[in-house]
Amino acid sequence: MLVIVAPGQGAQSPGFLSAWLEIPGVKDRLSAWSEVAQLDLVSYGTTADADEIRDTSVAQPLLVAAGLAAAEALLGPDVPSPPDRAGVVAGHSVGEFTAAVLAGVLTPEQALALVRERGQAMAKAASVTRTGMTALLGGDEAEVLAAIERHGLTPANINGAGQIVAAGTIEQLDALAADPPARARPLSVAGAFHTHHMAPAVEHLRAEAAAITPGDPRVTLLSNSDGAAVTSGAEFVGRLVDQVGRPVRWDRCMATMQDLGVTAMIELLPGGTLTGLAKRALRGIETVALKTPDDLEAARALISKETAQ
């Protein structure tokens, strides 16, 4: 069984869309989506520097648009993905919006309009207090979680494979860095996402989402909240809203993938993070991470192999 996944904020890098614009139709698609996102997605994905695309209000629509463009290049215009291509879809944090489109819950335009509001609201919430996120790699999980709690931080991402992300104020993160329970790596994000610091953004997004009539998932769609498969589009959109202020449980998403018998994973652009976690947590799984258009051939081959079984 194949799962298609979409990465979250922090996966972007300067110029990561440049090579994809050589695929016929991609630039026109991104230009049209730029109108919805109210951002020049082509420029941000090609010529903008790291600081510009670190901005939450830019990074989130850019990542969703990039994932959807890669999905269309891989699957053709038949996105949402039909069940005979992928049995499961999931996204990490803002990647859940990409996954929602692949599953047929949202249209690309609905997803980009909603994620535009999400990014702006989260950026505004993050500006109230100086906050951030730090990945803790390795170490004993119980000890890592205890250290996070001791410093008043939140385990905002429990990603599995020995990776937990702590989020909170810069002062709290500095205290954690002075006595880390595992190898610490600050993340290129502009706030303490998936924590109580995002409460104003949750309320704003809830009001925006109320105008959307979603479809029900056409494939198995996993939720970051608890790793469960969600069968109602309305419920999934509600979870998208609440997830802004709740920890991402990617470890539970991977546990569900294992229970479902997932044997292969394709990670949409900009790929690498989630396939890296899968290689460590889902032993024996075949993976393809879409980084450049050259990766499409391997991804198509993996789809053919999985659908032939």
Question: Would you please indicate which residues are annotated as catalytic (active-site) residues?
Answer: 93, 194
d(CA 102, CA 130) in angstroms, rounded, equals: 35
d(CA 87, CA 107) in angstroms, rounded, equals: 19
HSE at residue 226, side-chain half, CA atoms within 13 A, is 6
Helices of type H across 38-133: 41-46, 50-54, 56-75, 95-103, 108-126
DSSP label at 211? T
Number of helices and strands (H, E) in the chain? 13, 9
Strand ranges (E), 247-299: 264-267, 286-289
Q: Locate tokens 């924590």: which residue?
A: 195
